[in-house]
Structure 1
Amino acid sequence: MKETKTKKLVLSAVLLALATVLSLFKVYQLPLGGSITLLSMLPVCLLSIRYGVKWGLTCSFFYGVIQIALSFGELMSWGMTAGIGLAMVLRFISHFISGTIFFAVFCPDGWNVVLYSICYNGSYMLPEMAFTMLGAFALFRAPQTRSFVIGAQS
């Protein structure tokens, strides 16, 4: 017997709800986000097995949206680190542009100027970004940092 679209949607909703409930049972929580849960991905995988990859990816997307909604408060503290990340990316872009325009004369013979600027600026900006982000994650976990930041905004 052929399944109706309604049955497919209802089964998907029930399995996404089950996956969400299972995600609340954390076996291990990592300090910077992410966790090992009690089989929370199994219902989502079952949907993909039953209805195919396209439907499975669609359900996975909605599962991700549900997870974001559930951890919204936790994600708000990521706003500060996201801002730092954005600042670092914008700094890289400005260095890249100046590298291709003003520092092109230093490009070794045989190199593409754009590739050279990406490689040169990326060689120090990527580690700088990684260290800054790790430092921000560690710093923003401390309650003293929250009071310092909130006090500056008052």
Structure 2
Amino acid sequence: MSKSYSKTRVLVECALMVAIGTVLANIKIFTMPNGGSVTLLSMLPFVLVSFRHGVKWGLFTGLVNGCLQMLLGFWAPPTPTFIYFLGEILLDYLVAFMVLGTAEFFARPFKNRMVGVAVGTAVAGFLRFMCSFLSGVLVWGNLNEGLSAWTYSLVYNASYMLPETLITVVGAVLLIKAAPQIFDRQYTKA
């Protein structure tokens, strides 16, 4: 297999995963009033890229997806400075989706592949939650009078990110049980 064919194949697979993730992101189980929703496995394609092609490709695919998500539905609260606006772009879109590509890194220490997939997927979901949580504290501030921004952001973001992460972990475990070869690392000449 030639070098260009390998890279082309990986790029096409990553593009397909972005497309699948976008479709799944539009199948919402429930939506929160100020953004965020529980979807039908929309994070799974990005952790799958990480397991199949490594963290580098996972981060790249997450970045592309974050850019696409901004194009499809970007909404920003009025921000006092450009730094706040940049923080929102990074924490709510770019870094939030890029961290899903780290799943394979956190799965490496586990000899049992299924346990590694579950842990890697859970940690990647937790990192995405942390992006949303920090964005809620640093950019969005307090949207509910009476609660601190820290408390509000924790409760608000956990209310949709925890179910989203659990659904993704269950989906990944069921998928590796049904078709473990899908999670096999695809070695390409780089």
TM-score, normalising length: structure 1: 0.50
Rg larger in 1 or in 2? 1
TM-score, normalising length: structure 2: 0.41
Higher relative contact order (CA 8 A, sep 6+): 2
